Each structure stands twice: as C-alpha cells, then as structure tokens.
C-alpha cells in the first residue's frame, strides 16, 4: 500500500501522529478527560470493591473461606439467598489486591466469553468471580464439570478464583474440599455498620426503636437491612431534628408500603395540569432545591405545550402553598421533599403506569431539564434525574425504548451535558441483572456498525471504560477496538484501549492476537498494532512467571504485526515505534537479542525493509538511554543480525557500523 502524507498539526497540545502525510486533527466539543473521570477500569473496579468492603460485616464461614483461598487459590461459597454470599465473594477477592492481574466476572455460556476450559482465560494474578448463585441445575452441572480445568489454570497463573454455587446445588467429593458455608452476619451489626457509613452518630442509633425491632421480627436478607438503613438516612435528612431515631425508623418501616392507593387518590384530587406537573417534577427531582423544582415544572408545561398562566406573580399561589397541595414541602435548606418517605418512587411509578402517553414527553423533558442553567442543578442531581427515568423503563421491561432514547440523546447531542445524560441513561441498563447482556450486545453493535454522529462515540467510549470494563474487560476491549478502528484525527478510543490492555498481560496478548491473526490485516489495525505492541510491558514480567515476549505465541504475533508494518506503512510512520523498540532493546538485558531478532525476522530477506530498519537504528543512536555509545552498540548488534539474515554472516561485529554512515547495508 502506498500513501502520500505531509504533516500538518492544527492545534498544539493534542494527539501526535508519527508519520508523514496530510494529518488533520479535528477537535470537537466533547467533554475533556477530566470531565470523564480519568480513572482506569482497574481503579474503578477496586473503588467499587473497597466501598463494598467498608459495608461488609464478617460472618461465620469467612475465616474458612479466606484460608481455602489462600492455601488453594480457590474457594466455593455456599449459603442461603440473602446471606451475603455474593458480597462475600467480592470482598474475598478485594482483600487479595495486588499490583498484577485484574478483577473479572466470568460469564460462561456468553457467546463473547472464553470457555472455562481455555487456559488463556486466566491472566497472571487475576482475581476471578464465577457467580452461579442463580444458575439452574443444567447450567451448574456444565460449569461444575469445567471447574478442574479452570482451577489448574488459576494455579499456574498464581491467580485466585471464588465460585458462588447455587443454594440447592451439589458438589462432587473432590470439590467439597474447597467449600465454605457462609452464614448471615448479625442483623444488628449490619444495620449499624450501614448507619455509621451514612454518617449517623452512634449516640443516635443506640437508642431504642420499636419499628426496627418489628422489622427484625422476620429474618431479613442483608440487602433488605441495607435498604432499611438507607431509608433511615433519608428520613433523618428530611427531618433531622423533629422525630429522633425511633421516628426515623417508623418512617423507614412505613416507607415499605407502596403508597399506591395514596398516590392514586392524590392524583385524582389534583386534576389541574400545573398541579400534576409539579407533582411529577417533585418526584423526578426529589430532594432538589425549590428553584430547580420551580423552573423544571415550568419547563414540563412548555414541553407539554400547555399555555402559560398569565396571572401576575403576586396574584397566584406561592410555591410553598402549591407544594403543600401535593403533600410536599421545602426544608430549611430549601430542598423539596414529600412528607412521606419513598412517596416519590410511588408517584413516578403511578405516572409511568397510568399515563403511557406521557412517557416519551418525560424523556424529552428530562433531557432538557439536565441542561437548565441553575446553580442548584448539580451534576449529581442531573445523574439522579436520568437514572430515575431509566429505572422506570427497566421496571416496565422497556429496555429497547430506553436504549433508543439514549441513542437519540448521544446522536443529537449539542452539549456535553446531553451526552453525559446519555451515558447515565445507558448505565442502569448495562448494570441490570436481567438486561445487562442485551445492553452490552447493543453497545457492541453500535461500536462496530452504527454511524457515529454527534457525541455518540464519546458516549460509547464512556460506557465501555467506566461501566463495562471494570467487570467485563474482555468485552470492553473488543468494543474499544471497533471504536478505535473508526477514529480519524484524535484517538481517545485508542488511548482508552491502550490503558485497558496495560492493566493485564492477558488482555495485551488477546489484543495482539486480534490485530495480527487476520488473513489480511487492515492498515488501520496495523497502526493500532504499533501502539499496542509496546516493548516495555512486553519485556516486564511484573508478577508473572515470565514476560509476554518470552511466549512463542506472542513472538509470532509480534513478528506478524511488524511484518505488516514494514510492508504496508511508510517508514516515517513506523520509525518512531521502531526506535522505541531499539531503545528498549538497549536496556533490556536478557531480552536484548530477542527484541532485535523479532524486528529482523519481521523484515525477512527484504533488502528494502532491512535497510529501512538499519537507518532507523542509526537515527535512534543519539537518543538512546545511557548515551549514544550504547545506541551505537545496539546498531552494531543489529547489523550482525541483518547480515546473517542476508546470508553474509560476519564472524565478528565491526567496531563501527558498516557500511559508512548514510549508506545502506
């Protein structure tokens, strides 16, 4: 392939293209990396696990589980539903955090996932969760059959595996050895742990609370207890001085009611459009400042194309009176809440279920509301608003409609706020237990095939790195690869892909395979290969038994990729990458010869490619770490290998490179 390039950089501080030719870098108004969070998927996963560990209360069986995991790299957790077995599995893996390997959830049976019997499934130091708590008998049998092969790979890679088995599942005698039974922790301690993390002083929650005692009269799952504690927190926030701990617990207990009948009666009584608009606005923006509620309610009326009330401001009802009519009020801080705890959720469900014609308009209004210019409208409140809408779609099983709405927001986004709203709309779907797989498949299709207009590429990049990658890095890698293939100019998807593969040698190996094992790799994939095939991580074993570059399969991928680069890309494009390769070879010690051999083998007997490689080595000499003399020595060694490849086989390296500087071998 022949390409003609000239270099033009239109804006400093952006991406740098190491080639020759027309390079046009276009910078759109997409959010900056600081706005996207700038955190690696590994960091996100570890933060999530650390938060879980803070809330977790050890129970009977955790000590045995830790022992089995430490001694045998595997533990199989068994416990009743609600006992905290899945949380225990995540905590066990978090406690094993090391510099090597990543946390991953295995999804056996998923068409994108590697089979459990594939040795390449496990990376050095990985922390693997196989959650089969909800598996039926057939699925549990299939995965149980593959556990010995998976355990062998885990031990070889110095990784760790936690399996959560079905409560009614059985285990063969050889697997019983790794079983630990998890009992529910003391409910009182779980409750108090959550209250402490919510910032409630212990002198408050140590008081007696009959409503809490009533709640505990039945055996409660850990999730129910955590939810009760959160309701206590919200009751305390709404009425910090009025009721005390016993009163907050009463509200938390009463909030377990659905409030359906009360909401239906209220909606029937408040039949005027402005009243109902204020009611649904307060439910969607529950806890927002009164100014936000006022402006958002007016925006809803405009969205519904309701003529504005022309009554002079001093003639009509003030906001406080209007809020009283819908059983809400503004607290001392100016933030609006319903008088009954969790009444807002019931209002949202009522409007969604009984006014279906309102659903599409609620989506339009939500998008517009996130863009309101109000200092009280924080990023967290925007996120809550979008997620509340998304949860209504998911609750009603309308995941396709939710995806279509997010697609429209991202495709037609004209502001960073709208594209961020699209990310927040997709996130609950991707994290949903039932629909998560469907959303991941949809994101895959969009990354590969969809016309990426507006800020949709940014939206997909965000959900891949922030939502999919922390638990399903392999799937995120594939989606980012498709996005990177389609980039022109700036390369945020490629940058994110490089950051992701840097977290795991296994991911880098898989990525090298994807880029080089095609029958005819594209020029785009060859360019991507040069970024992924970084010699520094390839030669650094980290915590693994050996470096990636020592593996025969990786050597074949590297040779194939460089062969394509020499053949299909102009020298000014690949030369900076070759120079980095040569600089690394100068410092690589045991890998010095291997790195040079891989480049020479890739060039083969092609005199032009060997000559270009030699000239790249000469150009790299002055910038070699340790001084130019070390670079000259590397060039000498490379020339020996080039001569051998051409059948010249010199008996010893000359003191200076031959032929003279400026010539070709």
Place of tokens 């108090």: 192
Rounded Cα distance, 532 and 557, in Å? 12
DSSP one-letter code for 77:
E
146 token code pair: 């593959």
| Secondary structure of 422-466 in HEC code, one letter for each residue | HHHHHHHHHHCCCCHHHHHHHHHHHHHHCCCCCCHHHHHHHHHHH
Helix (H/G/I), strand (E/B), else coil: 112 = coil
Q: 432-449 burial, b for 16+ CB within 10 Å, e for fewer?
A: beebbbebbebbbebbee
CA distances from 190 to 55, 204, 367 (A): 8, 16, 38
CB 434, CB 397: distance < 8 Å:
no
DSSP one-letter code for 265:
H
Return contacts of 552-559, CB within 8 angstroms, 24+ apart.
553/509, 553/513, 554/509, 554/512, 555/594, 555/598, 557/509, 557/512, 557/513, 557/515, 557/516, 557/517, 558/512, 558/516, 558/533, 558/598, 558/602, 559/598, 559/601, 559/602
CB 408, CB 367: distance < 8 Å:
no
Rounded Cα distance, 184 and 626, in Å? 60
Q: Could you report the per-residue pLDDT of 73-106, keeping only the tens digit for each?
A: 999 999 999 899 999 999 999 998 777 889 999 9
* DSSP result, 472-539: -HHHHHHHHHHHHHT--SS-HHHHHHHHHHTT-HHHHHHHHHHHHSSSS--HHHHHHHHHH--HHHHH
Residue 35 pLDDT: 40
The residues spanned by each domain of the chain are 58-181, 187-254, 260-373, 504-645
Rounded Cα distance, 125 and 115, in Å? 19
Peptide bond into 659 cis (omega under 30): yes
- Given strand 103-105, what is the order of strands in its sheet? 103-105, 127-131, 160-164, 74-78, 179-181
Residue 310 pLDDT: 64
Rounded Cα distance, 349 and 584, in Å? 61
CA 654 to chain centre: 53
Rounded Cα distance, 101 and 273, in Å? 57
Q: 135-163 burial, b for 16+ CB within 10 Å, e for fewer?
A: beeeebeebbeebeebbebbeebbbbbbb
CA distances from 12 to 16, 38, 451, 597 (A): 9, 21, 29, 37
Residues 6+ apart with CB under 8 A from 165: 76, 77, 78, 132, 133, 140, 171, 179
CATH 1.10.3470 fits 504-645, yes or no: no
Class of residue 318 by CB neighbours under 10 A (exposed 0-12, middle 13-18, buried 19+): exposed
505 token code pair: 């040698």
DSSP one-letter code for 589:
G
Class of residue 124 by CB neighbours under 10 A (exposed 0-12, middle 13-18, buried 19+): buried
Residues 6+ apart with CB under 8 A from 81: 133, 167, 221
573 token code pair: 């494009």
CA distances from 564 to 185, 194, 270, 532 (A): 59, 57, 71, 14
Residue 588 pLDDT: 72
CA nearest to 193, candidates 229, 239, 224, 161: 229
Rounded Cα distance, 590 and 593, in Å? 7
Rounded Cα distance, 272 and 276, in Å? 6
CATH architecture of 58-181: 3-Layer(aba) Sandwich (3.40)
Low-confidence ranges of the chain (pLDDT < 50): 1-37, 651-665
Helix H segments across 157-243?
A: 173-176, 187-197, 202-205, 210-216, 222-238
Element housing 104 (H / E): strand 103-105
């Amino acid at each position: 392939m022949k390409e003609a390039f000239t270099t033009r950089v239109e804006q400093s501080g952006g991406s740098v293209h190491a080639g020759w030719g027309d390079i046009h870098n276009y910078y759109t108004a997409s959010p900056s990396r600081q706005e996207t969070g700038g955190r690696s998927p590994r960091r996100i996963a570890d933060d999530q696990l650390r938060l879980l560990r803070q809330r977790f209360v050890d129970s009977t069986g955790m000590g045995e589980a830790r022992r089995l995991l430490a001694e045998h790299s595997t533990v199989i957790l068994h416990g009743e539903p609600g006992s905290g077995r899945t949380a225990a599995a995540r905590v066990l893996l978090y406690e094993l955090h090391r510099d090597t390997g990543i946390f991953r959830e295995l999804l056996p049976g998923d068409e994108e996932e590697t089979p459990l019997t594939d040795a390449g499934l496990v990376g050095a130091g990985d922390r693997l969760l196989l959650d089969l708590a909800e598996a039926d008998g057939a699925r549990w049998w299939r995965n149980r059959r593959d556990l010995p092969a998976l355990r062998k790979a885990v031990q070889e890679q110095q990784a760790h595996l936690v399996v959560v088995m079905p409560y009614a599942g059985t285990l063969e005698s050889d697997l019983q050895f790794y079983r630990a039974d998890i009992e529910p922790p003391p409910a009182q301690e779980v409750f108090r742990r959550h209250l402490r993390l919510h910032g409630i002083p212990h002198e408050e929650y140590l008081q007696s609370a009959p409503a809490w005692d009533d709640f505990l009269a039945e055996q409660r799952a850990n999730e129910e207890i955590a939810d009760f504690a959160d309701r206590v927190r919200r009751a305390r926030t709404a009425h910090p001085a009025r009721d005390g701990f016993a009163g907050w617990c009463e509200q938390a207990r009463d909030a377990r009611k659905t409030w359906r009948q009360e909401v239906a009666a209220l909606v029937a009584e408040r039949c005027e459009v402005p009243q109902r608009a204020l009611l649904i606005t307060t439910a969607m923006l529950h806890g927002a400042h009164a100014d936000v509620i006022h402006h958002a309610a007016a925006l809803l009326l405009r969205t519904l194309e309701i003529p504005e009330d022309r009554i002079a401001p001093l003639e009509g009802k003030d906001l406080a009176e209007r809020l009283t009519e819908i059983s809400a009020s503004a607290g001392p801080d100016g933030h609006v809440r319903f008088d009954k705890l969790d009444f807002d959720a019931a209002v949202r469900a009522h409007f969604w279920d009984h006014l279906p014609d309102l659903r599409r308009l609620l989506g339009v209004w939500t998008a517009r509301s996130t863009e309101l210019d109000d200092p009280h409208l924080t990023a967290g409140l925007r996120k809550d608003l979008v997620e509340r809408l998304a949860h209504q779609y998911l609750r009603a099983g309308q995941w396709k409609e939710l995806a279509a709405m997010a697609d429209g927001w991202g495709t037609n986004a004209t502001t960073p706020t709208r594209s961020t709203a699209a990310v927040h709309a997709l996130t609950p779907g991707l994290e949903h237990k039932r629909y998560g797989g469907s959303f991941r498949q949809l994101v895959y299709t969009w990354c590969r095939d969809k016309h990426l207009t507006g800020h949709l590429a940014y939206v997909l990049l965000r959900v891949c790195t922030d939502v999919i990658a922390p638990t399903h890095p392999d799937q995120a890698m594939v989606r980012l690869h498709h996005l990177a293939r389609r980039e022109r100019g700036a390369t945020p998807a490629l940058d994110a892909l490089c950051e992701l593969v840097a977290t795991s040698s296994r991911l880098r190996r898989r990525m090298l395979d994807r880029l080089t094992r095609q029958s005819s790799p594209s020029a785009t994939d060859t360019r991507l290969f040069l970024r992924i095939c970084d010699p520094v991580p390839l030669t650094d074993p980290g915590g693994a038994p050996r470096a990636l570059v020592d593996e025969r399969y990786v050597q074949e991928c590297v040779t194939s990729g460089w062969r394509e680069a020499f053949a299909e890309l102009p020298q000014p494009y690949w030369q900076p990458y070759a120079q980095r390769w040569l600089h690394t070879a100068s410092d690589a010690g045991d890998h010095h010869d291997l790195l040079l051999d891989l480049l020479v083998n890739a060039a083969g007997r092609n005199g032009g490619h060997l000559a270009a490689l030699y000239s790249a080595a000469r150009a790299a000499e002055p910038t070699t770490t340790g001084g130019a003399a070390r670079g000259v020595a590397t060039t000498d060694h490379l020339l020996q290998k080039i001569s051998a490849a051409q059948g010249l086989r010199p008996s010893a390296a000359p003191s200076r490179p031959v032929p003279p500087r400026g010539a070709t071998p």
